[in-house]
Amino acid sequence: MLQNKKKLSPIMFAGTGSDVGKSVISAAFCRIFLQDGFHPAPFKAQNMALNSYATPEGLEIGRAQATQAEAAGIECHTDMNPLLLKPSSDKVCQVVLNGKPIGKKNAYQYFRKEGREELRKAVNEAFNRLEKRYNPIVIEGAGSISEVNLREVDLVNLPMAIHAKANVILVADIDRGGVFASVYGSIMLLTEDERKYIKGILINKFRGDIRLFEEGIKILEDLCQIPVIGVVPYFKGLYIEEEDSVTLQSKNLQAGHGKINVVVVLLRHLSNFTDFNVLERDPRVHLYYSNNIDEIEKADIILIPGSKNTISDLYDLRRNGVAQSIIKAHKSGATVVGICGGFQMMGREVKDPMHIEGNIDCLPGLGILPITTEISNEKVTRQVSFSFLGSKQKCEGYEIHMGTTSTIEDAANSPLNCTYDGSNDGYYLNQKCFGTYIHGILDNSIVIDYLITPYANKLTQTSFDYKEFKEEQYNKLADHIRSHVNMDLVYKIMKNSDD
């Protein structure tokens, strides 16, 4: 790694709205700067996501920043995402500050001015610490850059750019239409002082012949008096981890010949869906997400994912018939595996005497595993190295959960994993039925191979290296962005931010 590169000012990718591609664009630039000999790091002051990750220190951040750190070739750290909001219902979020939960707040409580400066101080200090260690900092904004009703309490967009003295690139999604209005309107709604920080416009998700938008580029630059640094086509054949689970149900592709059918039960509060990214890309597997009873019962393997509200999601599964379909499929020979909240649901019952997740004291589980769980206030967050079923191969994963699980009386003690610190994890009933608290367990090839062995007679392909695949995708993404963005202009902007 070259450490003698000139210090670059931070760059922020802010959006005209949500889901315009800021996270993936930020990951791309992390990899580009790494390729160009810099030592970059990602930063997002405030993230709202159910998809979180445990840092090496055992603290919690948004998964998007962990992905961006991976693209930058570095370990993730809470300074990259000091404030994380994890929705536990439509109106209430768990607030995680510097990797540790500090309580739950509804939207009105969270966005009040009282106490806001304490959060602002915390996220600013996290950025300051990060900037001393890395060059450059790639900052991601949140939602729209122009939520004028939230201007005084905003922590993540222009106030952060101003604190960081960052060059802001406004990202717009042309695929959803209205790109001229969204770009021009976003800029015009900023104050005159705020507009000075907008140094470039990036048009994302373009479909068709880019030459047809050349006049559009000129119109935008004339209107806004800001250069368009690039028009990035909608990329196909590239796979980068997504931040949100809103598109999961659309992944119900038709099963291919010679593949194993794997269903992830679609929960209302599903979290850490990246647990299944390896399987989704594994050519041996057809993976889909569903809460349809027929689709669940037709699967070879049923995966019950993590949940931000285990009690609520278990109640839904019992109410809508999915619980019964899982039990039926299990009795008919299908594999059933639970991860974190899904592991808890597989037991005899889930108890919540302190009403941490709601008003239900206790709810019967699926009764597949001889375990019982009690939800507790204490949150376990850590990275783990472990042995899967006594194997000598070292596996890696992480835990993020609230609650303790124990084996019921008279049941055999049968852990699935043994961690390298000497503790046990999960419960193993047989090759077709087990559960674990470890997220990322399916990123380990030994676990995947074990999972699909009973269905090997269906396969036409036998191996897949996920780590190598991800590195290839980051490099392809960087190449894609380089070919459609004026990187000379980007570097000029970052080297002359005070001009």
Q: Which domains does the chain have, with CATH numbers?
A: 11-239+472-495 (3.40.50.300), 258-459 (3.40.50.880)
21/14 Cα distance (integer angstroms): 10
CA–CA separation, 117 vs 158, rounded Å? 15
For residue 444, what is the DSSP state? S
Give, to the nearest 10 degrees, the angle between helix 310-319 and helix 322-331: 80
In the annotation, is 340 catalytic?
yes
pLDDT in tens, 27-58: 999 999 999 999 999 999 999 887 888 899 98
Q: Which of 483, 490, 13, 474 is nearest to 206 (CA)?
A: 483
pLDDT at position 235, please? 82
What 3-state DSSP class applies to 5?
coil
Name the active-site residue from 77, 286, 330, 439: 439
Low-confidence ranges of the chain (pLDDT < 50): 1-3, 245-247, 249-250, 253-255, 499
Task: List phi, psi (to 5°) of 52.
Answer: -115, 175
Q: Which of 340, 401, 433, 484 is catalytic?
A: 340
**CA angle, 53 then 55 then 90, to 5°:** 30
Helix (H, G, I), strand (E, B) or coil at 460: coil
DSSP state of 439: B
Rounded to whole angstroms, the Cα distance separating 121 from 383 reads 28
Separation between Cα atoms, residue 81 and residue 94, nearest integer Å: 15
What is the reported pLDDT for 107?
A: 61
Helix (H) or strand (E) holding 451: helix 445-452
User: What per-residue confidence (pLDDT) applies to 215?
Assistant: 93
Segment 183-192 long-range contacts (CB within 8 Å, at least 24 positions apart) = 183/16, 183/220, 183/224, 184/220, 184/223, 184/224, 185/16, 185/146, 186/16, 186/144, 186/145, 186/146, 187/146, 187/224, 187/226, 189/146, 189/148, 190/145, 190/146, 190/158
pTM score above 0.85: no
